[in-house]
Amino acid sequence: MTTVEAGVAGGVGTSPKRPDGGLKVRGEFAFSSDLWADDMLWGATLRSPHPHARIRGIDITAAVALPGVYAVLTHEDVPGAKRYGLEIVDQPVLAMGEVKYQGEPVAVVAADHPETARRAAARIVVDYEVLPAVTEASLGVLLRHVPIRTGDPDATADVVVTGEYQVGMQDQAFLGPESGLAVPAEDGGVDLYIATQWLHVDQKQVADCLGLPAEKVRLTLAGVGGAFGAREDLSMQVHASLLALHTGRPVKMVYGREESFFGHVHRHPATMWYEHGATRDGKLVYVKAKIVLDGGAYASSSTAVAANAATLGIGPYEVPNVVMDASVYYTNNPPCGAMRGFGAVQACFAYESQMDKLASALGLDPVEVRLRNAMTTGSRMPTGQIVEGPAPVADLLIRVRSAPPAPEGSGDLREMPGGVSNTTHGEGVVRGIGYGIGIKNVAFSEGFDDYATARVRLELIGGEPAVLVHTAAAEVGQGLVTVQAQIARTELGVERVTVATADTSVGSAGSSSASRQTYMTGGAVRAACQAVRAALLARVGGARLDGGKVLSDSGAVIADLASVIGDGPIEETVEWRHRPTYPLDPVTGQGNAHVQYAFAAHRATVDVDVELGLVRVVEIVTAQDVGKAVNPLAVEGQIHGGTAQGLGLALMEEIQMVDGIVRNPSFTDYLIPTILDMPPMKVDVLEMADPHSPYGLRGVGEPPTISSTPAVVAAVRAATGKALTRVPVRPEHIVG
Amino acid sequence: MTTRITVTVNGEEHTAEVEPRTLLVHFLRDQLGLTGTHWGCDTSNCGVCTVTLDGTPVKSCTVLAVMAHNHSVGTVEGLERDGKLDPVQQGFVECHGLQCGFCTPGMMLTARWLLDNNPDPSETEIREAISGQSCRCTGYENIVRSVQWAARQEVTR
């Protein structure tokens, strides 16, 4: 509850300009790839060409001999822990006797020029004994199995639909490649300037691998050129630090685009078998599902991805009887981990495809069958968890269905599938409409101690009250810096707010992932502001703040805010937690594992050239409940961008693997949506407050990515009559 | 082996020694320190390195620095004039046309070129103009609005 009465401009619920916007439009914002230190060296990485091989020996002689080379390091030079990992410490800093995926780092080089570093890396001779590679998840070693059992496992139903679905390996494809600068410090430690999603989890892993105490590994957030999950794991953090400590010189590393494809985890490819049983009037009786995820060579966040796929795997529907088994396996494919939607994306493609299939079997409208099963507040998840907050599933579906239909094509060739390629003048073009709705958990689950820290300082600057907000929360583009300032303005009634650069000199904020950072760091900033306000009022025995004045209970002015702070600045640091969550029962999958659920729905309208298999998405309509739009413009931006990534997965985005080898590590061959692929979007934002979250807000970033994929595919199915059980849908799937 | 080139960047003449293979993007970033021009893909797909060459947008990873000899290059650092943001820059700030901001400089240079040549573009023309450049954050919707905002500002100016 806020006791600030007079609204100050730029607070919660408004869309003030981004504090980093001026720098970004001037080209002055320092991305991690722009960093520079005098006397710095450049790092380069030698990676395995094989998905699986034994390393018999590494000969660095020729690399060391190259003029300009200052260091060539292998696993033997890692002074601390040789492995790291987010959940399971299994990934070598540099390969130790074996490589388990194509692109695994084997050695790193520092040289006085990036070209020299790359040439030196190429001169390292690695003696590989190539081993057979496991590239099918079902043949791999089990990493985690998440079973969920509720109701009667042998339930039967009048109408049964079954299906097998596949999701390809998607890449986050942020535009700013992995990069950072490590600077050796006088105390024997290192200062690392890095684009990441979670400074403190990097700090811990880097310190462990360097054999240093955490306080000697100081991280500062450098400008982040997009993240989407790909920066949750380490890339070159340890490598650059090792090279810097070894050479005594600052070391910069920047991955090129091809290397970037090998430098971060990807979205788990999935194969999913579903069986839905329903009554003749379309009420779900049971769902049986088996989800198999390819975790790749190392664990990353696979165990949590599997839990999400399982717990969210039947969608936002009430189902009394559920048998769900989600499993993730180690293979010799690239490690898979976090990407926007995190396990919920794969399952949603399958369960929404099933809902369409069920509608068809029942002769019902696809939205109608969803409405008949839509969960609502008080519904019980298959984990037994009761959905406490608003769950406007039916409302969202009705909103996207009742939006006006997409306009008819104008006949302009540029608006045809194939566009300016002039592949059709309208012949063979069929329009289709499809729907999708999804569910996502917000923040970290399964009993994880999920917290965020904020330090807030209220002081006088030039005689005027000013607030400094300091957190370690990563601004990755989503607008978190704006939101932190908005919250401080609302809570303290002070317009002048500065958000300090995120670094590890303040406590952990947790990750900018799981749609959690406005909730978590926003919650921490609010709590710290409230602590500052309480201290301020206590100084003069005030009851509340109003328009820069401290008032008594009766509303009499006690003092000017400025005069109270004149006695000295007030600073408070608060560690803030969401309500606890609990582990899943390992046998039944029962448990209150999630803290908040979020929902979005999409309607896609497509034109398909059924002769050539070309698709043009004509329009996207989406509705999402965000609880409270803390920054409406930023909320809309998240929904636009998230929808685009879901459309990409539906129609074009896939890292193509053949026998453990990545066939398309470039933007020539890995396609992301351009503006010509993206239709105009209509966004309907609902604000149904969650009573447990700050301001009632709900995480926003991931839901739009989840439901746009099945909506687009359903529209293509409607146009073509094809089953389309795999994404991305390719032209040959349509014409084949 | 290096070659001496003279390039006018944002109206200022620079003479420098470059290797003939040096790409314009690296010349701008590493030799002139103009890091507002970004480097994103190596394959001329993403367009975050877009600058203008004699007024026309080019992907500066597709141009050798020596090809810019005796030519004029415009980068994001040259958009602001006399301490006043270009309307295109203002549009991206006003309309939330950027999130991470990595594609923004290139998008703005193309938008500036578009408005210089077509002061009142249709939405289709805006979309076509930036179709060679990728954005991974915005879904492009607010980029279009930003360019429209700038066009309105300039028409009414």
Strands across the sheet with A557-560, in order? A544-546, A549-551, A557-560
Residues A629, A653, single domain; the answer is yes
Is pLDDT at A413 greater than 60 in this prediction?
yes
Question: Is the same domain home to A67 and A183?
Answer: yes
pLDDT band at A333 (very low <50, low <70, confident <90, very high): very high
> What does each C-alpha distance from A217 to A93, A193, A502, A505, A575 come to in angstroms?
16, 11, 15, 10, 21
Segment A219-232 mean pLDDT: 98
Residue A3 in any domain: the answer is no
Residue A534 has pLDDT above 90, yes or no: yes
User: Any idea what the CATH number is for the domain that residue A202 is in?
Assistant: 3.90.1170.50
Distance CA A645, CA A340 (A): 9
Judged by CB atoms closer than 8 Å, whether chains meet at B131 and A676 is answered as: yes
CA distance, residue B100 to nearest chain A CA (Å) = 4
Q: What is the mean pLDDT of residues A308-316?
A: 98
**What tens digit of pLDDT does each residue of B69-102 get?**
999 999 999 999 999 999 999 999 999 999 999 9
pLDDT above 60 for A506 = yes
| Domain final residue, candidates A242, A263, A284 | A263
- Strand ranges of the sheet holding A251-254, from the earlier edge strand across to the other edge: A69-73, A105-111, A41-47, A251-254, A179-184, A190-194, A217-221
- Residue A682 contacts B, CB cutoff 8 Å: no
**Average pLDDT over chain A, rounded to whole?**
97
Interface touch B98/A476, C-beta < 8 Å: no
Q: Which residues of B fall within a CB distance of 8 Å from A637?
A: 96, 99, 137-138, 142
Q: H/E element holding A217?
A: strand A217-221
d(Cα A73, Cα A383) in Å, to the nearest integer? 48
Confidence class for position B157, pLDDT limits 50, 70, 90: low
Across residues B15-25, what is the average pLDDT?
97
Look up the ipTM and state it: 0.98
Examine the domain organization and report whether A489 and A539 are in the same domain. yes
Q: Which of B99, B108, B131 sits opposite A674 (nearest CB)?
A: B131
A660 has pLDDT over 90: yes
Strand partners, A606: A432, A617
**Which residue ranges form the domains of chain B, and what is each CATH number?**
3-78 (3.10.20.30), 87-156 (1.10.150.120)
Split at pLDDT 50, 70, 90, the class of A639 is very high
Kind and range of the H or E run holding A108 = strand A105-111
A114 and A239 belong to one structural domain? yes
Q: Does residue A155 sit within a domain?
A: no
Q: What is the pLDDT of residues B23-46, one digit of tens each?
A: 999 999 999 999 999 999 989 999
Q: Indicate whether A250 and A352 sit together in one domain.
A: no
Does some domain include residue A560? Answer: yes
Q: From A519, A551, A577, give the residue that closes a domain.
A: A577
Number of structural domains in chain A: 3
Longest dimension (CA), chain A: 82
Q: Give the three-state DSSP class for B93.
A: helix
Q: Are A134 and A332 in contact (CB under 8 A)?
A: yes
CATH code of residue A544:
3.30.365.10
**A724 and A594 together in one domain:** yes
Three-class HEC string of A223-256: ECCCCCCCCCCCCCHHHHHHHHHHHCCCEEEECC
Percent of chain A at pLDDT > 70 equals: 99
pLDDT value at A411 more than 90 = no
Please state, in angstroms and rounded to a whole number, the distance separating the CA atoms of residues A336 and A169. Answer: 8
- Rounded distance, CA A316 to CA A402, Å? 20
Decide: A584 and A308 in contact? Cβ < 8 Å. no
Q: Looking at the structure, do residues A463 and A360 belong to the same domain, yes or no?
A: no
Which chain B residues have a beta carbon less than 8 Å from that of A512?
Answer: none
Contacts of B115 (CB under 8 A, 6+ apart): B87, B88, B121, B147, B150, B151, B154
Please state whether beta strands A217-221 and A190-194 pair in parallel, antiparallel, or not at all (unpaired).
parallel
Judge whether A352 and A437 are in contact, CB under 8 Å. Answer: yes
Percentage of chain A modeled with pLDDT above 90: 96
Kindly state whether residue A4 falls inside one of the protein's structural domains.
Answer: no
- The upper half-sphere exposure of residue A628, i.e. CA atoms within 13 Å in the direction of its Cβ, equals 19
Residues A562 and A615 in one domain: no
Residues of chain B contacting residue A177, judged by C-beta atoms under 8 Å apart = 40
Residue A485 contacts residue A201 (beta carbons within 8 Å) = no
Asked if pLDDT for residue A417 goes beyond 90, the answer is yes
The minimum CA-CA distance between B121 and chain A, rounded to whole Å, is 16
Residues 6+ apart with CB under 8 A from A563: none
| Same structural domain, A502 and A566 | yes
* Res A410: pLDDT: 85
- Distance in angstroms between the alpha carbons of the first and the last residue of chain B: 50
CA distance linking residue A523 with residue A454, whole number of Å: 9
Is residue A157, in this structure, part of any structural domain at all?
A: no
Domain match, A182 and A237 both: yes
Q: A510, A543, A577: which is the final residue of a domain?
A: A577
- Using an 8 Å CB-CB cutoff, list chain B residues near A256: 42
pLDDT tens-digit readout, A564-576: 999 899 999 999 9
Q: What is the mean pLDDT of residues A459-479?
A: 97
Kindly indicate the confidence band of residue A1, based on its pLDDT and cuts at 50, 70 and 90. Answer: very low
Position A153 in a domain: no
Domain identity same for A665 and A616:
yes
**Is A160 a member of any domain?**
no
Using the predicted structure, report yes or no on whether residue A4 has a pLDDT greater than 80: no
Tell whether pTM > 0.80: yes
Whole domain around residue A323: which residue ranges? 270-383+391-445+584-735
pLDDT digits (tens, 9 = 90+) for A353-398: 999 999 999 999 999 999 999 999 999 999 999 999 999 999 999 9
Same domain, A370 and A507: no
The model's pLDDT over B57-77, given as tens digits with 9 standing for 90+, comes to 999 999 999 999 999 999 999
**Residue A329 above 60 pLDDT?**
yes
Residues in A touching B18 (Cβ below 8 Å): none
Would you say residue A14 lies in a domain? no
Nearest Cα residue in chain A from B137: A641
Task: Tell me if A109 sits within 8 A of A46, measured CB to CB.
Answer: yes
CB spacing of A678 vs B143 below 8 angstroms: no
Other Cβ atoms within 10 Å of A388 Cβ, number: 17
Give the neighbor-by-neighbor strand order of the sheet with A681-686. A429-442, A596-609, A614-625, A681-686
A581 close to A592: Cβ distance less than 8 angstroms: yes
